Every structure is written in structure tokens, then in C-alpha cells.
Structure 1
């Protein structure tokens, strides 16, 4: 998956003729030494994709990783050293940094949320609100930042949402239909909007209940009603200002779409070492 993604990104960037700027300004035997360094604090993710970009550009490029994915970065920290033909180094620079900056941004955003709930038992989890084609990498970055993964796609768990409930004829009817369909290894989760729906869901014994857009006081009541019978996931209205209060209600999971669909890129740069 890494190779396929990097190959597609390089093809997109190089087009039909390759990096004509590097070809025009650099001789084929010119070499370059460079480092990739953090320009702001954050959490590192995506080293394999960055390294693969350089190796595809020129297999003779030497790559040394000085940190691991998941490392906390301070400005100036060096994540990677690159040494080899200058044309290859500079032709792969943008693709390498695009992957590294984006995934480190996801990891850094996840870490900000995870740090705010570290005093509780709640875990931050991602959603399917991901960049098309990059889901596996973004979910990996979430783990690098201290979060956990929700389902990867529509095929690995049943998640009954409000539209399913409306068509199926109610919370309990939807859960019972899902139970009859699912294999013994497939978990069933249902989304509820009210405490009455929660009680209806509990009677049908799902594995997980998503408590959608509930205020902290309502979440506390939901935790008391469930009394440990199911895993409870809070969703909706989650941001850096609200996440601690949500976690303190006693829910098990807090899903945050923002960490994958809106996380800002972490600023890392490639600097040529002279001399």
C-alpha cells in the first residue's frame, strides 16, 4: 500500500518529463546531503512513505531515520538524513514532505486530544472521515498520536445510524436484524440520540452504543443507565474545548472526525547541508 500510494503521488508530480527544473540546473553526478527537520512542535508520522519517495526517485539515495513514528518533535529536531544524487533528492522532496507533513499533522492533532483526556479512561478514536485513498495511513497516524481506530470501512463492523433506524423501523428492530445477519466475530454498534433510544437499544444487546450529540449531563445519565453493559462512544460536538468534559462523564470512547479530515499539516522542511 505504501509503494502504490507513493508511486501514484510521484507520477502525479513528475508527469511526462520528470523534474525538468532539477534536470536543467543539476548535473547527473551532482550529489546532495539534506535533512528533514521539524519547524514546529508535534508528533511524527509517515517516515516509511517519505523514505519510499526518495528510494523510488533514485535507489542509490542513502536514507537514515533518526526518530521513530510517534516521536514528539520540538522545532529543529531532525527526523531523517538523505544523501545521494541531487536530482533524485529534490525530485522526491515535495512528495516526501506532503506525506510526512500531512500524517504528522494527523498524529499531532490526535495527540492534542489524547493529552486532554489522559486523566480519564476514555480513548480518542478516529472515523471514516478520511482523505480518499489515504485512510489506512491516516488511521496509522492516529495510532502514532496516541489514539485508536474505529472501523476501517463498511465491511469490518456494523454501525447502525439514524438513517438505518428510520428505514428499518426502529432501534430495536435494526439491532435484531443486524444480529441475525452478523457473523460471530462482527460487532454491532448503534447510534442513539436520546436516553429513551439508549434504553431501547440496551434491551437488544448491541456491543457498542454511540451517544450522538449529547451534552455532558446527558452523557453521565447514559453511563449510569448502561452500567457497564455495553461500550459507550460519545460523538458529535467534540473539540479541544469540550473533549475533557466529555471524557469525564465516564464514556469509553470519543470519536473525533476532525483529527483526520481537518488536521493542519505539521511544518517539516528539507534543508540542504552545505560543506
Structure 2
């Protein structure tokens, strides 16, 4: 199956890809390809899946090749969101051999990592969908990669939590401790942010939850709560706020968490430790 996903604009992606290529070519360029491959040699290559999974990042990989050889031919055969099988040909590429070999590792790094995120997200998103629950990523992302990693989560059928510190208020335990308590933290937040900004509070006890609900919190993050406590928390919330579960949740436990009635399940490992999908570049 193929999911309709709008690719990220090039203006957002290009700085990340350029930085990765510059890191790789260093001060002298690809000295291996320059030494081994005669100048002007043309190459015909294909991106091929080595295992089953979900494709994400094909336009990022394409950009890596195009930045090295703007005249190369890059024929996309599978769009982001495609369910891949081992042996699926993802793209057909023709261009300057030296340039193609220089771009290879950067393109595969992006493609394998982003596809790994989408591949891990999709089965979870599908498993919890019948309960009306969505899986989301967090800010636990690799430096410089947040935009792309969060995109890959969407490709896999998940949703995004806040992108940074500037687009939503999330009051955590240290904020509460320094502010002087739940009520003080929520009151100050509501007084100091715009009316369009959501205010979320992390709670790890039912007593904190009750106080937050009394203050009119928009979203509650139910942190590291066992299943019975999650059920009780959802009942107490009663639809008055969006409820989100986080902390120690594994793919195996997501259904049990979703069955408690939470709206969202936040999983940091989707972006900070997921396994890459094995994708290779083969000479034709």
C-alpha cells in the first residue's frame, strides 16, 4: 500500500543534505573515486531494498545525488510510504560515476535511517488505531535531523509532538519544582503565552492530575504510569483534556496502553534509537 505524503520543500531539506555531503567530502573530495574511476565515466545504479519495510526519504536521497551531479537522471520508482519487500527497486539512477559514488553513503544514510523510523512507526500506528489512539514522536531527535525524523514518523502513520521549545508549552517535573508547584506553574504559563498556544503538564501522580484539571490544563502527559493508574487517570480526565501516555512504552505494550483510552502515546525511541532499514545501491 502507498500512503499519500507531501514531501518536504527543498529549501528545508537542502541545508541538511549539503552539510552531510560536506562532512563526507572533507578538504580533498572523494579521493578513492578520483583515483580509481576515470574522469567522465558514466554509471547506471539502482537503489534496492534488502529487507521489507516502509520507504521514507526518497527525495532526500535524490537530492544527495543531484547536488553532486545536477545532470544525473534519478527515476523514482517508489514513493515515500510504499511498503517495500526485499528486492524492491526503489530508484533508477544514471550519471557521472565519480559523483554517484561520492553521494552514495550520504544518500543511503538518510534513506536507511528515515525508512527505519517509518518502518517502526507503521505497525504501531495500525495496531492502536482501532482504539482511537495515535503514536507520536518526541524531541529526542538527532541534532540537525529533527525535521526529517518527524517527517518519517508521519510517513509511517504516526503524528508529531511539538517540534521545539517555541511551539507549545510542556511543563515538566523540574519546571513544577522550580515554579513552586503545579498550580503556580500552570497559572504563570497561562498568563504569559498567547491564546493559541497549548499548555501541557507532565504528571506522575493522580494528585497532580487532579490539581492540573482544576487549573484547566489543555493536555496532560501521564508519565511512567502503570496500566491500572493510566485507566484511572483517563477516567478522571473524562474528556476535559487531551491525555498522552509516555515513559517506558514498548511496541509490545502499546495495545495495552491504547486500551486505557489515552489519546496519544509518545515514544522517543522512534527517533533516537530505531534500527535502520537495509537499503543498498547496486550497479546495473
> TM-score, length-normalised on structure 1?
0.97
Q: Which residue of 2 aligns with 1:85?
A: 96
Q: How many residues align?
A: 273
In 2: Cα distance, 1:118 partner to 1:199 partner? 28
In 2: Cα distance, 1:179 partner to 1:219 partner? 26
State the Cα distance separating 1:181 from its structure 2 match.
Answer: 0.6
Gaps of 5+ in 1: none
Pick one of 209, 230, 234 that aligns with 1:219. Answer: 230
State the Cα distance separating 1:48 from its structure 2 match.
Answer: 1.6
Pick one of 100, 110, 113 that aligns with 1:102. Answer: 113
Gaps of 5+ in 2: 1-11
SS at match of 2:251: coil
State the Cα distance separating 1:119 from its structure 2 match.
Answer: 2.2
State the Cα distance separating 1:223 from its structure 2 match.
Answer: 1.0
In 2: Cα distance, 1:12 partner to 1:36 partner? 22
Cα deviation, 1:32-52, whole Å, max 9, x if unaligned, reads 111101111111111121111
1:151-230 to 2 correspondence within 5 Å? 151-230=162-241
Q: Within the alignment, does 1:19 sit opposite 2:30 as a pair?
A: yes
Kindly report structure 1 stretches of 4+ aligned residues shifted beyond 6 Å.
Answer: none
> TM-score, length-normalised on structure 2?
0.94
Pick one of 130, 149, 155 that aligns with 1:138. Answer: 149
**What RMSD, in angstroms, separates the aligned Cα atoms of the two structures?**
0.9
State the Cα distance separating 1:115 from its structure 2 match.
Answer: 2.7
Q: Which residue of 2 aligns with 1:55?
A: 66
In 1: Cα distance, 2:183 partner to 2:49 partner? 51
Q: Which residue of 1 aligns with 2:278?
A: 267
In 1: Cα distance, 2:89 partner to 2:128 partner? 29
In 2: Cα distance, 1:15 partner to 1:198 partner? 52
Cα deviation, 1:76-105, whole Å, max 9, x if unaligned, reads 111111011111111100000001011111
SS at match of 1:242: helix
State the Cα distance separating 1:241 from its structure 2 match.
Answer: 1.6
SS at match of 1:118: helix
Q: Which residue of 2 aligns with 1:246?
A: 257
State the Cα distance separating 1:147 from its structure 2 match.
Answer: 0.4
